[in-house]
Amino acid sequence: MTATGLSAISFHTPHRYIGLDTLAEHHGIDPDKFSKGIGQEKIALPGHDEDIVTMAAEAAKPIIDRYGSDGIDTVLFATETGIDQSKAAGIYMHRLLGLPANCRNVEFKQACYSATAALQMACSYVARKPDRKVLVIASDVARYDLDSSGEATQGAGAVAMLVTANPTVLEIGANSGVFTEDIMDFWRPNDRRTPLFDGKYSTLRYLNAMIEAWKDYSENGGHSYDAFSHFCYHLPFSRMGEKAHRHLAKANKAPIEMDKALTGMAYNRVIGNSYTASIYLAVLSTLENTYADLTGQLLGLFSYGSGATGEFFDAKVVEGYQDHLFTARHANILNERIAVSYDDYVSLWNAYPLDDGSATMPEEARGRYRLASIDENKRIYIDQHA
């Protein structure tokens, strides 16, 4: 069977954030509730002229610069914060990146899970057509109502992944375990900017979906628990990953070795929830923040999307993977961010542009791509270097 998986993976997150200590101070609560109880430090905040398209283009651009776009004939764009009910967000990004015109372009949705469906389908496709490449994008803005219990679990970010045959970073295993149940733990009706959710219930359903997906993975011939060197979880907040890891270890009567999951949480702790991108940020964090050589090691991945669908699958680290990472670039993105005050956070929170007429966006994005305006309900994206 042809090996398939990732030959490049890169992320982007906006340059502004609010520290959760600032949020705690505003609400008059103990900052340890966020830093220890939720396990988060910062929430990334997009500006008026940044959204899932600009973040996706910023994440994918270094991959295109390094590897070119030859052979990319499919863009699968996963998001649950879509900007249009009809047109796929990937089509705007496709133009910004100058991708080949002979390319299909589709948007995927199932809460935080859909990038995993996109990745699995991309792997099946390149197994059939090994000379083709697929660009899989996960891009989201996680936004909850101000003063709600979800407020501390906001965030924003995008991950771009180049899926090929004979991958150079991660080989995605053919075995996976899946689970779906029809529940209302988190959802966003069409007329709402923010989700409705039952927070505590959602954490319990997440754990249940993980165990059910793990059982299915095991029954489908998956690896045993002790074969994995690291685990990467969907991280709505990093403490959820800790709970998941403890739960999975207990279910397997294994010792709880938190270091197998912690390096995967480093990026999420300072970016926040990025919905579809979150588990792939955990994968990146594991690859880029584990100092030991991971060649040949097996990662266990659990992807969850409320509503709900979960999938457990595995990925093997390919020799020479370090040469295909963007570690220094990612460190710069995080190091060069600026903190905002509570008042500036509220003003950015209210900035979420909707296509309801016309507007010119203030120039806030520091990256190359901007949402410049909305002109009679048409979103106008620009490449500032063009």
Q: How far apart are CA 312 and CA 304, in angstroms?
A: 9
3-state class (DSSP) for residue 123 = helix
Cross-strand bridge partners of residue 371: 381
Distances (CA, A) of 66 to 63, 70, 230: 5, 12, 28
Q: Which residue has the tokens 């990937």?
A: 90
Q: How many CB atoms lie within 10 A of CB 290?
A: 18
Q: Provide the minimum distance between the beta carbon of 80 and ligand HMG in the complex, in angstroms, as a whole number.
A: 5
| Residues at the interface with ligand HMG (CB under 6 A) | 30, 32-33, 36-38, 80, 111-112, 149-150, 152-153, 185-186, 197, 199-200, 202-203, 206, 234, 236-237, 240, 273, 275, 304-306
Instruction: Give the pair of three-digit tokens for residue 54.
Output: 């600009």
Which of 15, 243 has the CB closer to ligand HMG?
A: 243
Q: Provide the minimum distance between the beta carbon of 115 and ligand HMG in the complex, in angstroms, as a whole number.
A: 11
Closest CA to 293 of 268, 258, 318: 318
**181 catalytically annotated:** no
Which of 108, 237 has the CB closer to ligand HMG?
A: 237
For the chain, the farthest-separated pair of C-alpha atoms sits apart, in whole angstroms, at: 59
Q: Provide the minimum distance between the beta carbon of 199 and ligand HMG in the complex, in angstroms, as a whole number.
A: 2
From the candidates 58, 94, 112, 245, which is the catalytic residue? 112
Residue 258 contacts residue 239 (beta carbons within 8 Å): no
Q: How far apart are CA 276 and CA 160, in angstroms?
A: 11
Q: Provide the minimum distance between the beta carbon of 303 and ligand HMG in the complex, in angstroms, as a whole number.
A: 10
Q: How many CB atoms lie within 10 A of CB 199?
A: 14
From the candidates 12, 15, 234, 330, which is the catalytic residue? 234
Which of 10, 274 has the CB closer to ligand HMG?
A: 274
Cross-strand bridge partners of residue 105: 75
Which of 164, 238 has the CB closer to ligand HMG?
A: 238
Which of 100, 342 has the CB closer to ligand HMG?
A: 342
Residue 347 contacts residue 338 (beta carbons within 8 Å): no
From the candidates 41, 50, 58, 80, which is the catalytic residue? 80
**103 catalytically annotated:** no
The rounded radius of gyration (Å) of the Cα atoms in the chain is: 19
Q: Provide the minimum distance between the beta carbon of 4 and ligand HMG in the complex, in angstroms, as a whole number.
A: 26
Positions marked active-site = 80, 112, 234
